[in-house]
Amino acid sequence: MLDRSRLRGPRHACCQSREVSERDDVTGISGDIARVGVVGCGQMGAGIAEVCARSGLEVMVAETTGEALEIGRTRLHNSLAKAAERGKITAEELDATQARLSFTTDLGEFADRDLVIEAVVENEQVKTEIFQVLDQVVTRPDAILASNTSSIPLVKLAVATSRPDHVIGIHFFNPAPVQQLVELIPALTTSEGTLSRAQLFTEKVLGKHAIRAQDRSGFVVNALLIPYLLSAIRMFESGIASREDIDNGMEMGCAHPMGPLKLTDLIGLDTVASVAYSMYEEYKEPLYAAPPLLQRMVDAGRLGRKTGSGFYSYG
């Protein structure tokens, strides 16, 4: 849990937000983002922190406990070491990137951040609480508060703060250092200035390709992907085909780089289930309903690669 007693920094006055919104209209100011905060250092948070640090930004990463922080730090350093081994970065770049990374369990240390990207578990209550805390601690009035959520309405996170015009979805894909795409999701309250700064930042600073989507559960990619993954799990659950034949079917028959059950293991079964629940909640369409097997596997702690077992086992 977050320790609110350790938080510092003034709450934001509405008048500050208005002044900043006017400044937001100035184009080309994404270069003012130098200090990034990333909340959560799981699969996505570690990848996002790596992308930002490799782009020359100073990045601070926050986790809940010292133990979770150590796991996240190791994940991030292993990924950077692999990038160096594969010749994607030089030994000097590796050292410089590591020097730009810092780690904390105290969100109060995010006071000077220009941009914060939240990448914690796909849980509305947990994310809302983090946005409330960020609103209190981040002092720069025009800082962008972004979420990497896959399905939670951005407007709910935006209105949990006193600066809903500066809250936006910046949705990266897994693994973030490899996948080119980001989705930008403005809430109803997000200012045009925040959206264009986020676009300039993701495209010009991080070198990603940004697509825009409305604030509807699943946005573009998951709205198409999740029903497909759920169909594959239903097919496996009903015994129509083995897991290998389902995956081979899509890899060899449709040239997908990874079959749907392997992809579910990569994303994390808990994340797929949470996204499916949010989408079902939004649309009430049966195609978004999670099959019982998915929830049973989540309950059993078989979350995929990150726990060593899901539809497949990982050594």
Ligand X SMILES: NC(=O)c1ccc[n+]([C@@H]2O[C@H](COP(=O)([O-])OP(=O)(O)OC[C@H]3O[C@@H](n4cnc5c(N)ncnc54)[C@H](O)[C@@H]3O)[C@@H](O)[C@H]2O)c1
* Chosen residue from 37, 45, 259, 260 binding ligand X by CB under 6 A: 45
Told to check if 126 binds ligand X by CB under 6 A, we report: yes
Q: Specify whether the CB–CB gap between 189 and 219 falls below 8 A.
A: no
Q: Choose between 64 and 309: whose C-beta lies nearer to ligand X.
A: 64
* Chosen residue from 267, 279, 294, 298 binding ligand X by CB under 6 A: 267
* Chosen residue from 97, 217, 271, 278 binding ligand X by CB under 6 A: 271
* Chosen residue from 24, 50, 114, 122 binding ligand X by CB under 6 A: 122
The reply to whether 148 belongs to the active site is no
Nearest CA to 216 among 295, 138, 304, 282?
Answer: 282
Q: Choose between 21 and 149: whose C-beta lies nearer to ligand X.
A: 149
Q: Choose between 41 and 144: whose C-beta lies nearer to ligand X.
A: 41
The reply to whether 77 belongs to the active site is no
Binding residues with ligand X: total (CB under 6 A): 30
Q: Choose between 87 and 257: whose C-beta lies nearer to ligand X.
A: 257
Nearest CA to 81 among 69, 66, 65, 97?
Answer: 97
* Chosen residue from 17, 21, 30, 43 binding ligand X by CB under 6 A: 43
Determine the interface stretch with ligand X among 198-206, 231-239, 264-272, 291-299 (rule: CB under 6 A): 264-272
Q: Choose between 97 and 271: whose C-beta lies nearer to ligand X.
A: 271
**Which of 148, 196, 222, 274 is flagged as catalytic?**
222
Task: Name the residues that contact ligand X, by CB under 6 A.
Answer: 2, 39-45, 62-64, 68, 72, 119-122, 126, 130, 148-150, 171-174, 267-268, 271, 306
